[in-house]
Homo-oligomer: A and B are copies of this chain.
Amino acid sequence: MPEQSPGSRPTLEAVAARAGVSRATASRVVNGGDGVRKPLVDKVRAAVDELGYIPNHAARTLVTRRTGAVAVVIAEPEIRIFSDPFFSQQIRGISKELTAHDTQLVLLLVEGPGDFDRIARYLSGGHVDGALAFSLHTDDALPEITRRAGIPAVYGGRPSPTADPGDQAVPFVDADNRGGARLAVRLLKDLGRERIAHICGPPDQTSAMDRLDGYRDVLPDADPALIAEGAFTVESGARAMTELLERRPGLDAVFAANDLMASGALRVLRERGISVPEQVALVGFDDMDPVAKETDPPLTTINQDIEGQGRLMARLLLGALDRGRAGSGTTPASVITSTTLVRRASA
């Protein structure tokens, strides 16, 4: 590929001239070459190589009305994203899938509440063909925004407490949080634990509430004082554990709604000289790398395939885009991915 100085790139016109064909034929070859005779195809290909031709994306988009790009919108102004490998992994999965389909990833980070306007404008502006969105807090405006933008969107995580997988309006990919929580609590129960506490996540996140529901599925009559609320951070986990210990010193097991909180809880237990898992068994959620393996003792936790979820989100969206082009505008169906119990030393 010859070096390019910007602003002087060869056009299709130039390629056509060099190959001795019309612009239309050159275009056909560049776009796959169906229905063009072999010798001409070769000539055009040669011209493309010699000239270092690269199609002008803007011109192509202008006529095809496809940008070949999708937005990834992350509505998380909090510091949490900084210490959360969750997004990195999910994005890695998305990126892999998009790349495999020659689609670009435009990252839209919400920096503050006023940003939703900007996002809305961008999504409606024909910059992208679709959107992949992470709407962590149920009160945020994202689902409404993508709906109004009139472009297909797939969510990472169930976007609202009322959304269900059958819902055609807001397709999403989510782990089986409730089922995973049941796995965790059932393990604790099978271990013979009788006072199983739960450190739940923030009530405005569906994943937190789903995990709480799973806990309640297994322990419908649990003492309410055995439930403490955290914020999915290490610190909040420590605080919740302290609270729990004050309220119910006799507890013999804890299910934390994520590994970060579990590690905070672990620290408090260690400080108090309470042995894990002997006196208190502990189970986390996420199987977060490297947290889960590196705590002392390593965490028994619930694994979910985060990168796979990202890939799946992208696949669903790309499918919708293809169908959109074909005219049959079906929204994709939501998918719930499975969770598995990973047994380590903490329970």
Contact = CB atoms under 8 A, between A and B. Distances in A.
A202 interface: no
A290 to B, nearest CB: 5
A81 B289 CA distance: 11
Q: For chain A, which range describes its interface: under 10, 10 to 19, 20 to 34, or 35 or more residues?
A: 35 or more
Nearest to A296: B267
A150 B4 contact: yes
Contacts of A3: 148, 150
Interface in A238-255: none
B89 A88 contact: no
Given A1-B120, A95-B111, A106-B69, A82 B289 contact: yes
Contact of A126 (B56, B67, B107): B56
Contacts of A79: 289
Contacts of A267: 294, 296
Interface of A: 1, 3-7, 9, 54-59, 61-62, 65, 67, 69, 72, 79, 81-85, 87-89, 91-92, 95-96, 99, 104-109, 111, 115, 118, 120-122, 124-127, 148-151, 233-234, 260, 263, 267, 270, 289-290, 294, 296
22 contacts: A1-B121, A4-B124, A54-B124, A56-B126, A57-B127, A58-B58, A58-B61, A58-B62, A72-B107, A81-B88, A82-B88, A82-B289, A83-B289, A83-B290, A87-B88, A91-B109, A92-B109, A99-B118, A105-B109, A106-B106, A234-B290, A263-B294
